[in-house]
Amino acid sequence: MSEFSRDQEAADEKDRQLDQVRDASDEALTTNTGVRVDDTDNSLSAGERGPTLMEDFHFREKITHFDHERIPERVVHARGAGAYGYFQVYESMARYTRADFLTDPGLRTPVFVRFSTVAGSRGSADTVRDVRGFATKFYTREGNYDLVGNNMPVFFIQDGIKFPDFVHAVKPEPDNEIPQAQSAHDTLWDFVGLQPETLHMMMWLMSDRAIPRSYRMMQGFGVHTFRLVNERGEGTFVKFHWTPLLGTHSLVWDETQKIGGKDPDFNRRDLWDSIERGQFPEYELGMQLIPESKEFDFDFDLLDPTKIVPEEQVPVTPVGKMVLNRNPDNFFAETEQIAFHTAHVVPGIDFTNDPLLQARNFSYLDTQLIRLGGPNFQQLPVNRPVAEVSNNQRDGYNQHSVHRGRTSYFPNSLGSGCPYLGEAPYTHYQERVDGAKIRKRSESFKDHYSQATLFLNSLSDPERTHLTSAFQFELGKCETMEVRERVVGHLNHVDHTLARAVAQGIGVTPPAAEETPNHGRSSPALSQANTRMDTVYSRQIAVLADEGVDAAGVTRFREAMAVQGAAVEVLAPNDGRLSAADGQTLAVDRALHTMSSVLYDAVVVAGGAGSAASLAGNGLALNYIAEAFKHAKPVAALQEGVGVLEAAPLPRLRLAGDGDAAVADQGVITHRSGDPEEFYTAFTRALAGHRVWDRQTAAVPA
């Protein structure tokens, strides 16, 4: 088996449990009471043209149920997509934790993961600039464990009491509910300017991390420092990391905005389709483990969620792998009704006093009560643990269990003392606490700039350019000049050059003097330029073709890509089949006008004189090429297809001439004749590199 698993796992325990409630609705139509119905198109009425009758119970039940279909969307993270899978630990972590699922390498623990955007409503577009949620429910033998993380390792605020303020600031403005799913508006930046603890996270939000190429290509972080506890009751601080096996890759800003219109479900669809294809998303779980004795060895507070622990200081230990291999059956029942909660922990995993985490431990249960309509939401199929549930909690709306017996209290003798207090219970870590009741932020939480600078210093040049443009875009959308100025003032504490560059783009007077000198430190692990770039697995390639295409050349290219797990789609002006020069035909996968270059990772022009002549005069095809070039994607052409590149509005490039096997210039790879192997290799290398960031794109009109 390759390092990317492709086998569909046999049903696990959670899957078998869900099977008991799966319903295919393939029997005769009935009411909810099971009474058969023979007409669901006409309501019962007094005569053909008469009024509808109240006694039409089928009509009333159908309409009433419909009227009550909606539940409140999540107050944040409303839009999401989810999948089932499993997690397996590489080696026992018993030295640090007694959690069963982290100590038995032979065990596959079922999981459900929900990815999400934060600010937008349920119907908003996937590719907006935003944080992505990365929430994992482990259905362990000892109960459910939820790791409710994000794709960025820090957060906007330090104390949960500020969360409603922050969310009110970033959400659409309350008078007109504008803008939807956008951080580029006055209220958010007003909050940022007045609350500088947001700055480190704002650097992440303005970076490429906020526009991931795919949920399969983004990291996940637990954010807070948590605590592992072993059999002996000894604690170890831990930071959780998920690392995608495909590398961490992003889109470019212009592309994300276009995808928002062309395919608002871009990230959801990508997750769904890859699982349907058997190309299962995989992530490695890593841990930064910090002995309690080292709690105060850092120049920041481990309890401060606006800080990372640089990997160069505490390396990430690979711990296990998660594979997502099954799509849900029903979006509402599973992805919408899943209820995560930071306090869903199992023995061996515990909290710290991070004030943000403490607040979350309150908020998540509270929110499920309103969202899912009462205290029995754990009985919903997707939420039910695979571990036995047995307690004296009773009744409430939507109670699905039929509890037997006379006793629902403890202690009892009439019910044989059941449920009894079992072995191996959850025991809270015995941390000593002592202090006066005060409302005061710790002095150790006061530095808001150093790690923002650390993040900036760690970026590659293209990443830094993107970040600067993002600040200019977002602040440029703010109508209030003082809001822009205040943020620039803070940026001047992060980095003088950045502050000046941002100011210049938004009509703010650039700060004359450096406020806080840049400390010069960096953490290379923070840059996506240092991610994995050696695989094209699951990448999507558009091949442009028309009548007269070199069908054999396209088929050979498709096969060469398929071997590496990359998919080729043939796009032509019309759907159907193309006649090839040699008398063969080639199936068109999609018509050019139904798709767009922004929905692919690369654009390739097929060979064949007739095809090339037609495409060279097709504005839409030329736009595919120019746009892919603008978005720094690999662009390629085979044989006569090279002529189409010449017709496209690209800068002067070195293209293959007669007899050239493979020529690569700025990620534009061309091939005229002979064995195409060299071309395949050059193209694959460019595609694995994701984007060609040093390309000259300024003059390309797309």
Write out the binding residues for heme.
74, 114, 163, 360, 364, 371
**Cα–Cα distance between 542 and 566 in angstroms, integer?**
11
Q: Which is nearer to ligand HDE, 223 or 571 (CB)?
A: 223
| Residue in the structure block whose two tokens are 């002979």 | 674
Q: Which is nearer to ligand HDE, 85 or 641 (CB)?
A: 85
- CA neighbor of 596 nearest in space, from 120, 256, 180, 211: 256
- Tell the smallest beta-carbon distance from residue 76 to ligand HDE (Å): 5
Q: Which of 86, 145, 215, 340 binds ligand HDE (CB under 6 A)?
A: 340
- CA neighbor of 609 nearest in space, from 639, 645, 571: 639
- Tell the smallest beta-carbon distance from residue 339 to ligand HDE (Å): 6
**Cα–Cα distance between 203 and 182 in angstroms, integer?**
16
Among the listed ranges 70-78, 203-211, 529-537, 692-700, the one in contact with ligand HDE (CB under 6 A) is: 70-78
Q: Which of residues 7-26 bind ligand HDE (CB under 6 A)?
A: none
Handedness of CA 414, 419, 425, 428 (dihedral sign): negative
End-to-end CA distance of the chain: 42
**Cα–Cα distance between 517 and 453 in angstroms, integer?**
10
Residue 285 tokens, joined: 């779980």
Q: Which is nearer to ligand HDE, 113 or 602 (CB)?
A: 113
CA separation, residue 42 to residues 34, 54, 538 (Å): 19, 14, 48
**Cα–Cα distance between 694 and 654 in angstroms, integer?**
16
Q: Which is nearer to ligand HDE, 339 or 503 (CB)?
A: 339
- Tell the smallest beta-carbon distance from residue 155 to ligand HDE (Å): 4
Q: Which is nearer to ligand HDE, 162 or 695 (CB)?
A: 162
CA 416 to chain CA mean position, Å: 49
3-state SS class at 134:
strand
- Tell the smallest beta-carbon distance from residue 151 to ligand HDE (Å): 9
Q: Which of 94, 333, 359, 661 binds ligand HDE (CB under 6 A)?
A: 359
79 in contact with ligand HDE (CB under 6 A): no
- Tell the smallest beta-carbon distance from residue 216 to ligand HDE (Å): 17
**Cα–Cα distance between 355 and 163 in angstroms, integer?**
11
CA separation, residue 506 to residues 420, 425, 467, 514 (Å): 66, 58, 14, 19
Q: Which is nearer to ligand HDE, 367 or 376 (CB)?
A: 367
- Whether 77 is catalytic is yes
Q: Which of 14, 344, 360, 448 binds ligand HDE (CB under 6 A)?
A: 360
114 in contact with ligand HDE (CB under 6 A): yes
* Beta carbons within 8 Å of 512's beta carbon, 6+ residues apart: none
Active-site position among 144, 150, 383, 457: 150
Q: Which is nearer to ligand HDE, 72 or 105 (CB)?
A: 72
Q: Which is nearer to ligand HDE, 14 or 493 (CB)?
A: 14
Count CB atoms within 10 A of the CB of residue 521. Answer: 13
Q: Which of residues 178-237 bind ligand HDE (CB under 6 A)?
A: 223
- Tell the smallest beta-carbon distance from residue 116 to ligand HDE (Å): 5
Residue 510 tokens, joined: 């650039």
455 in contact with ligand HDE (CB under 6 A): no
Q: Which is nearer to ligand HDE, 82 or 548 (CB)?
A: 82
77 in contact with ligand HDE (CB under 6 A): yes
Among the listed ranges 281-289, 357-365, 425-433, 657-665, the one in contact with ligand HDE (CB under 6 A) is: 357-365
Q: Which is nearer to ligand HDE, 7 or 366 (CB)?
A: 366
DSSP code of 416? T
- Tell the smallest beta-carbon distance from residue 102 to ligand HDE (Å): 19
3-state SS class at 170:
helix
112 in contact with ligand HDE (CB under 6 A): no
Query: H-type helices in 545-665, by residue range?
Result: 551-562, 609-616, 619-630, 642-647
Do 547 and 514 form a contact (C-beta atoms < 8 A)? Answer: no
Crossing angle for the helix pair 551-562 and 677-688, to the nearest 10 degrees: 50
Count CB atoms within 10 A of the CB of residue 391. Answer: 9
**Cα–Cα distance between 548 and 587 in angstroms, integer?**
13
Binding residues: 74, 114, 163, 360, 364, 371
Binding-site string for ligand HDE from residue 126 to residue 155, where x marks contact by CB under 6 A and - marks none: -------x-x------------xxx----x
Q: In what order do the strands lie in the sheet with 663-665?
A: 590-591, 567-572, 540-544, 602-605, 635-638, 668-671, 663-665
**Cα–Cα distance between 228 and 347 in angstroms, integer?**
9
- Tell the smallest beta-carbon distance from residue 360 to ligand HDE (Å): 5
Do 605 and 597 form a contact (C-beta atoms < 8 A)? Answer: no
Binding-site string for ligand HDE from residue 480 to residue 519, where x marks contact by CB under 6 A and - marks none: ----------------------------------------
Could you tell me where the beta strands, DSSP code E, fall in 154-207? none
Q: Which of 353, 367, 579, 618 binds ligand HDE (CB under 6 A)?
A: 367
**Cα–Cα distance between 95 and 97 in angstroms, integer?**
6
**Cα–Cα distance between 427 and 601 in angstroms, integer?**
49
Active-site position among 77, 344, 448, 496: 77
3-state SS class at 172:
coil
Q: Which of 14, 58, 74, 307 binds ligand HDE (CB under 6 A)?
A: 74
Q: Which of 12, 14, 58, 76 binds ligand HDE (CB under 6 A)?
A: 76
Q: What is the largest CA-CA distance in the chain?
A: 93
DSSP code of 334? I
- Tell the smallest beta-carbon distance from residue 614 to ligand HDE (Å): 47
Q: Is the peptide bond before 153 cis (omega within 30 degrees of 0)?
A: no
- Tell the smallest beta-carbon distance from residue 700 to ligand HDE (Å): 37
- Whether 327 is catalytic is no
Count residues near ligand HDE (CB under 6 A): 24
- Tell the smallest beta-carbon distance from residue 131 to ligand HDE (Å): 8
Residue nearest to ligand HDE according to CB distances in the complex: 133
Q: Which of residues 291-320 bind ligand HDE (CB under 6 A)?
A: 305
Q: Which of residues 564-603 bind ligand HDE (CB under 6 A)?
A: none
Among the listed ranges 73-81, 404-412, 581-589, 648-656, the one in contact with ligand HDE (CB under 6 A) is: 73-81
Q: Which of 18, 79, 80, 467 binds ligand HDE (CB under 6 A)?
A: 80
Q: Which of residues 319-338 bind ligand HDE (CB under 6 A)?
A: none
Query: H-type helices in 161-298, by residue range?
Result: 163-170, 186-194, 199-205, 253-262, 266-276
Q: Which is nearer to ligand HDE, 65 or 168 (CB)?
A: 168
Count CB atoms within 10 A of the CB of residue 120. Answer: 23
Q: Which active-site residues does the annotation give? A: 77, 150
Residues forming contacts to ligand HDE in the complex (CB under 6 A) are 74-77, 80, 114, 116, 133, 135, 148-150, 155, 160, 163, 223, 305, 340, 356, 359-360, 363-364, 367
